[in-house]
Amino acid sequence: MAGKGGGRPVVGVDLGGTKIMAGVVAADNRILGRGKRNTPAKEGGPAILGTMLECVDEALDQAGLARKDVVAGGIGSPGPLDVDAGVILYSANLNVKDYPIGPELSAALGVPVRVNNDVRVGGYGEYVLGAGRGYSDVLSAFVGTGIGGCLILGGKIVAGATNNAGEIGHVVVKAGGPRCGCGSKGCMEAFASKTAIANRLVKASKKRDCPLGEKIQRKGRLKSGDLAQAVREKDPIAVREVERAAFYLGVGLGGLVNVLGPQVVVIGGGVTQALGQPFLDMIESSARAQIITDPQKLIKFAPAALGDDAGVLGASLFAREMIAGG
Ligand SMILES: [Zn+2]
């Protein structure tokens, strides 16, 4: 349970493909200090560890604490991982292979460190401290560069027989649809991730006037804020692409709700944060169109509540539970 573990602070780290964020978190789950750096994504494991330690020290500094004051650490990392050994087995985004990030951070800080899948860590944070608080059955979806998910049933993360369950982004929502990064076709991620939306906008800009598509080409990527601004300004192509993404997210989530019966569907991630409630409403309406298991509309659709802190807080919860559970 959160709150146990001797009352001393722990460190939570959110290791992302573009940013590393660290937080020093008190026993009452308040973040006492924060650190943030760009991920040295091309330089390999030791560079990532070094930057991670800078983030941790910055967070400790802000909290007025030192490394000796914390009792455990947690890391949310992209994977695949060997969770028990604390090893990142492989990550194309981080240019890392078989790197023992958990043991390395543990050695540097002198405390035990627990590593877990980044999406699961964020979903667990939302479950305990955010939009899933008070529920026991929570389906979380995070829409950003990709689409990640975390399923909690009966208060437990569902990891499946292979420990890889929860990959909601790769539910096929249209057989034979667009090619997905995973090699399959028609996955939810291939329709509704920021990457998918950006590809469509760039394509559109080659046929007609599409300022956002041109901007993506200039910047080399789509910023969620730019997408939201184009929608606010009623750019017809951006509006259409966002509606399309919401529709397919709803198709995927509606099917999952029919099978799993969560009490709440929590939707977060950078794209969702930027587009806000209208985007959530479109997703819910598309999902409801096919949900047959909830005639009384008891199942809630809720925006994620922790924003960028979900990863840091979730990682800190895993750290605290590790020392509490022994
Ligand atoms: Zn896929």
Average pLDDT of the chain is 94
- Residue 6: pLDDT band by 50, 70, 90 thresholds? low
Instruction: Quote the pLDDT of residue 163.
Output: 86
Give domain status of residue 124, yes or no.
no
Per the model's pLDDT, the better-predicted residue between 209 and 31 turns out to be 31
The answer to whether 90 and 96 have CB atoms below 8 angstroms apart is yes
Q: Do 20 and 97 fall into the same domain?
A: yes
What's the 186 CA to ligand 1 centre distance in angstroms?
A: 7
Q: Do 108 and 221 fall into the same domain?
A: no
Per the model's pLDDT, the better-predicted residue between 120 and 80 turns out to be 120
Q: Do 232 and 139 fall into the same domain?
A: yes
Q: Is the dihedral of CA 156, 315, 150, 304 positive or negative?
A: positive
Q: Do 113 and 147 fall into the same domain?
A: no
Q: How many domains does the chain have?
A: 2
What's the 295 CA to ligand 1 centre distance in angstroms?
A: 31
Q: Do 164 and 34 fall into the same domain?
A: no
Give domain status of residue 28, yes or no.
yes
Instruction: Give me the DSSP letters along 106-158.
Output: HHHHTS-EEEEEHHHHHHHHHHHHSTTTT-S-EEEEEESSSEEEEEEETTEE-
Q: Do 72 and 221 fall into the same domain?
A: no
For residue 215, the enclosing domain spans 131-303
What's the 6 CA to ligand 1 centre distance in angstroms?
A: 42
What's the 182 CA to ligand 1 centre distance in angstroms?
A: 4
Q: Is the dihedral of CA 93, 95, 99, 102 positive or negative?
A: negative
Does pLDDT of 5 surpass 60? no
Q: Do 221 and 108 fall into the same domain?
A: no
* 265 Cβ contact list (under 8 Å, min separation 6): 139, 140, 141, 253, 257, 287, 299, 300, 301, 302
Q: Do 25 and 169 fall into the same domain?
A: no
**Distance between alpha carbon 144 and the CA centroid of its chain, in Å?**
8
Does pLDDT of 228 surpass 70? yes
What's the 118 CA to ligand 1 centre distance in angstroms?
A: 18
What's the 35 CA to ligand 1 centre distance in angstroms?
A: 33
Distance CA 49, CA 123 (A): 24
Give domain status of residue 32, yes or no.
yes
What is the percent of the chain where pLDDT is above 70?
Answer: 98
What's the 304 CA to ligand 1 centre distance in angstroms?
A: 23
Average pLDDT score over residue span 19-43: 96
Q: Do 216 and 243 fall into the same domain?
A: yes
pLDDT tens figures, 61-74: 999 999 999 999 99
What's the 72 CA to ligand 1 centre distance in angstroms?
A: 35
- Residue 7: pLDDT band by 50, 70, 90 thresholds? confident
Instruction: Quote the pLDDT of residue 289.
Output: 97
What's the 176 CA to ligand 1 centre distance in angstroms?
A: 12
Average pLDDT score over residue span 222-246: 96
What's the 248 CA to ligand 1 centre distance in angstroms?
A: 13
Q: Do 30 and 44 fall into the same domain?
A: yes
DSSP code of residue 184: -
Q: Do 156 and 289 fall into the same domain?
A: yes
What's the 201 CA to ligand 1 centre distance in angstroms?
A: 20
Instruction: Quote the pLDDT of residue 126.
Output: 98
Give 216-222 contacts, CB < 8 A, sequence gap 24+: 222/194, 222/195, 222/197, 222/198
CATH of the domain at 226: 3.30.420.40
pLDDT tens figures, 90-143: 887 788 999 999 999 999 999 999 999 999 999 999 999 999 999 999 999 999
Instruction: Quote the pLDDT of residue 92.
Output: 79
What's the 114 CA to ligand 1 centre distance in angstroms?
A: 28
Q: Do 139 and 103 fall into the same domain?
A: no
Does pLDDT of 169 surpass 50? yes
